[in-house]
Amino acid sequence: MAKTIVSYNVNGIRAAAKKGLVDWLQEGDYDILCVQETKAHQEQVDVTPFENLGYHHHWYSAEKKGYSGVATFSKQAPDSVVAGCGIEKYDREGRILRTDFGDLSILNCYFPSGTSGDERQAFKMDFLADFSDWVAELRKERPKLLILGDYNIAHTPIDIHDPVRNKKSSGFLPGEREWLSKWFDSGFVDSYRHLNAEKIEYSWWSYRAGARANNKGWRIDYQSVTENLKDNLKQAHHLGEAKHSDHCPVFLEIDL
């Protein structure tokens, strides 16, 4: 059975809802929607419109109000829900939410950004290293993984509108890109790039200088699958017409 799965950094779910998120979701009728950067706790959001569309929903919010957070909406109730990775400094920011559907585990992730300075860049690099180790252990228990969300890294020059000028920008630094290369060499498949080897599509644009209108973007949102799911991938693309955020949704159809 094919499932449609969408990952979307909404940059504030309440703001996105005011821009028509629910109507868009009703039209798309996706099986699973994983959102990042909710910037809200569940009790701050009117969830009735999502429930009226038939979605179960699970939230993992940051301790800090109005910051970070992830939520997973699914037509099918998950068999299990696990919040966090057990490392306090990341879990207090609400960055990882796992939902299990049969033998598939989906990790809805919001990787840290390093754009605000050296301290957060160091935090980001720590997260990348710790996340790799944690996932390696999880794979022993749950070998079929879909790890999606905002990775906050553009992998190769084809994934960013101006690789030369951005070579010293957080999100395209050599160490970040090297981590992502090692990630994909460790048994994970970039579903979008696997199905679209040379295609140029972006998932995030700055709000400045008409970046989206001029398509000066970055591809920093991913749906990675373990190698054992590679042959199940049917289609992957970006839903660029959705404009509820500075990101656009990333779509995947996978045969489960």
From the options 3.30.1330.10, 3.60.10.10, 3.40.630.190, 3.40.50.1820, give the CATH code of 2-255: 3.60.10.10
Give the tens place of pLDDT for each residue, 181-213.
Answer: 999 999 999 999 999 999 999 999 999 999 999
Torsion of CA 245, 68, 218, 214, to 10 degrees: 30
Give the tens place of pLDDT for each residue, 146-159.
Answer: 999 999 999 999 99
Give me the residue spans of the domains in the chain.
2-255
User: Are 222 and 183 in contact, with CB atoms under 8 Å apart?
Assistant: no
Q: Would residue 150 show up in a list of annotated catalytic residues for this protein?
A: yes
Q: Catalytic pick from 150, 159, 190, 221?
A: 150
Local structure of residue 20 (DSSP, 8 states): T
Q: 12-38: b or e for each residue (b if 16 or more CB lie within 10 Å)?
A: bbeebbeeebbebbeeeebbbbbbbbb
- Average the pLDDT over 98-120 and give the result: 97
- pLDDT given at position 30: 98
Give the tens place of pLDDT for each residue, 58-102.
Answer: 999 999 999 999 999 999 999 999 999 999 999 999 999 999 999
Give the tens place of pLDDT for each residue, 211-242.
Answer: 999 999 999 999 999 999 999 999 999 999 99
d(CA 134, CA 256): 25
d(CA 243, CA 239): 9
User: Are 220 and 204 in contact, with CB atoms under 8 Å apart?
Assistant: yes
d(CA 158, CA 141): 35
Model confidence, pTM: 0.98
CA quadruple 89, 93, 94, 95: dihedral positive or negative?
Answer: negative
pLDDT surpassing 90 at residue 1: no
- pLDDT given at position 8: 99
d(CA 250, CA 256): 18
